[in-house]
């Protein structure tokens, strides 16, 4: 009899909210035993809706991660994630998460109208979240910020700060002040995390050489070790599915 494994599901956002949301995903541990995993920086901040055993529903906001860390997925638990792009913070949440770097903030257990029953249908909760997000998007958004984030994500963080500043018509000093104030890190640091995150898919496929803006193989290996705790070959092996983002990469 085949062993039950932790299940990962993923939905992409619709066109109307794609500037604010990278994806929706769900982790379900129906194995009956808790599982320890490694969570790595992925350049997003997340809204998490979680239900463990008989505990009440929990909803919390995860800040941007810069470090890898071990986490426990409780037995018989479900977690729904909305992985947000950075533009969403100012315009949907109207707050700074500078103090949440590698941390989290508990929210009301009925935040945005979510309830425990929503976790029973991944497609339905993704649709519910999409409707709520679309309703919150304001009519007026700073065009400089739309251009800036569009360039950052399209290039996977490979563009220089000077080029980003020039093409978004926003000074590099103002951009870095904005990043520090709202997100708790510099644009350069954020782009480094984004390049690391972009390597997940190639590493999962076994391509262990740099395809992005890393100076050489040694630089690539050092960055992977810094962000995951292991070298690219060990990350590719992903023994026991312990690196959660690599395990979830490519899931639909």
What is the C-alpha separation between 222 and 191, in angstroms, rounded? 16
Whose CA is closest to 17, among 123, 135, 151, 182? 135
Mean pLDDT of 79-83: 97
Q: Which two tokens stand for residue 224?
A: 């992977």
Give the helix/strand (H/E) hosting 107: strand 104-107
State the pLDDT confidence band at 247, using cuts at 50, 70 and 90. Answer: confident
pLDDT at 214 over 70: no
At residue 1, the 3 state secondary structure works out as coil
What is the C-alpha separation between 129 and 144, in angstroms, rounded? 27
Does domain 143-241 match CATH 3.40.50.300? Answer: no
Which of 18-32, 44-58, 148-162, 212-226 is the least confident region?
212-226
Mean pLDDT of 229-248: 82
State the pLDDT confidence band at 241, using cuts at 50, 70 and 90. Answer: confident
Per-residue pLDDT, 206: 78
Percent of the chain with pLDDT over 90: 65
Per-residue pLDDT, 152: 97
State the pLDDT confidence band at 213, using cuts at 50, 70 and 90. Answer: low
- Is this prediction's pTM over 0.95? no
Per-residue pLDDT, 31: 86
* Domain(s) of CATH 1.10.10.60: residues in the chain: 143-241
Count CB neighbours of 113 within 10 A: 10
pLDDT at 53 over 50: yes
Per-residue pLDDT, 81: 97
In the β-sheet with 45-52, what is the strand arrangement from edge to edge?
A: 7-11, 21-29, 77-84, 45-52, 58-62, 104-107
Mean pLDDT of 80-106: 97
Note the pLDDT tens digit of each residue in 1-26: 345 578 889 999 999 999 999 999 99
HEC per residue, 5-67: CCEEEEECCCHHHCCCEEEEEEEEECCCCCEEEEECCCCCEEEEEEEECCCCCEEEEECCCCC
144: which residues sit within 8 A by CB, 6+ positions away? 168, 169, 170
Note the pLDDT tens digit of each residue in 100-119: 999 999 999 999 999 999 99
What is the C-alpha separation between 155 and 136, in angstroms, rounded? 27
CA 173 to chain centre: 26
pLDDT at 155 over 90: yes
Count CB neighbours of 87 within 10 A: 21
Per-residue pLDDT, 1: 39
């Amino acid at each position: 009899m085949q062993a039950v494994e932790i299940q990962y599901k993923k939905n992409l956002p619709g066109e109307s909210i794609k500037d604010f949301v990278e994806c929706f995903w769900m982790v379900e541990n129906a194995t009956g035993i808790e599982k320890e995993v490694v969570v790595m920086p992925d350049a997003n901040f997340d809204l998490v809706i979680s239900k463990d055993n008989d505990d009440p529903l929990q909803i919390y906001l995860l800040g941007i991660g810069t470090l890898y860390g071990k986490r426990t997925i409780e037995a018989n638990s479900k977690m729904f994630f909305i992985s947000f792009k950075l533009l969403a913070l100012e315009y949907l949440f109207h707050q700074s998460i500078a103090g949440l770097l590698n941390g989290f903030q508990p929210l009301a257990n009925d935040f945005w109208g979510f309830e425990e029953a929503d976790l029973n249908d991944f497609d339905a909760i993704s649709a519910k979240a999409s409707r709520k997000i679309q309703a919150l998007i304001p009519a007026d958004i700073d065009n400089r910020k739309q251009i800036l984030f569009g360039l950052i994500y399209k290039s996977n963080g490979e563009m220089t700060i000077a080029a980003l500043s020039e093409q978004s018509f926003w000074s590099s000093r103002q951009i870095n002040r904005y990043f520090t104030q709202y997100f708790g890190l510099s644009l350069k640091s954020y782009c480094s995390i984004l390049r690391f995150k972009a390597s997940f898919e190639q590493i999962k496929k076994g391509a262990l050489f740099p395809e992005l803006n890393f100076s050489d193989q040694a630089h690539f290996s050092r960055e992977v070790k810094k962000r995951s705790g292991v070298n690219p070959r060990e990350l590719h092996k992903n023994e026991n599915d312990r690196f959660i983002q690599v395990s979830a990469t490519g899931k639909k």
